[in-house]
Amino acid sequence: MKEEFTEKGSEKQKALIGDFIIRFESLNDWIRFILPNIIFKKQITELELKNIETLMTDLGAEQLRTKFDSLIFDNFSSFPELSKTNNKLSNKVSELTSIRNSIAHGTYRLGWKDFKAELSDDTFSLRHSKSTKRGYKKRSKIISTKDLIELNELLEKLAFCYKLIHIIIRNLSNHNRIDLAEKNLHALVKKIDEIDKINLKHLDVLN
């Protein structure tokens, strides 16, 4: 039976693509939210917060995360497991950046099931065309909406990991509760270990 590409399918694909971009940016927002809590151990003033936000302006995802990792290492040397675990998380997130760039800067053929004009609600083409000295390269991939859904769910798990890091930092900096920090660190390690290697799978490629 021949599959169809419906308006509902088109809207779903657009929503999934937009959802990915928003969820990826939410990871950066978590880092921006946590940073002042690392630098300032006491109640932060409005001016101090404004100064931090000024310094973070225009930082890309990689730069922001690298600075975050560095601050975690320097400020919590007495609790080294936090830096070690954060680095594991950071390595996971770094795998996402190229995927984010591909999705954000690519062009789409929604509903494409293959490169033979067949259509489906469950697949689309993501293209990064390029002119080279050896001619025009289409560089297209067929992506399953199922894989994009799984990637969005993964982003939600990563955001929860940063939430746990924020809680651990508050346990250590504001309340001096090593016991709670260790408990939440255990939960963080478990959550990170549940996350497999991150990649955006493809069903077919046309170069």
Per-residue pLDDT of 95-122, as tens digits, reads: 888 899 999 999 999 998 988 879 999 9
Helix, strand, coil percentages (3-state) for the chain, rounded to 5, are: 65, 15, 25
Predicted pLDDT of residue 190: 96
pTM for this model (two decimals): 0.85
pLDDT confidence bin for 179, thresholds 50/70/90:
very high
Bigger pLDDT: 173 vs 206 = 173
Q: How far is CA 86 from CA 35, 38, 81, 90, 197, in A?
A: 14, 14, 8, 6, 16
**Cα 119 from Cα 145, distance rounded (Å):** 13
Contact assessment for residue 27 and residue 93, using Cβ atoms and an 8 Å cutoff = yes
H-run or E-run covering 171: helix 145-173
Pairing of β 135-137 and β 130-132:
antiparallel
**Identity of the residue numbered 187:** A
Per-residue pLDDT of 122-169, as tens digits, reads: 999 998 877 777 776 778 899 999 999 999 999 999 999 999 999 999
Predicted pLDDT of residue 1: 54
Bigger pLDDT: 70 vs 37 = 70
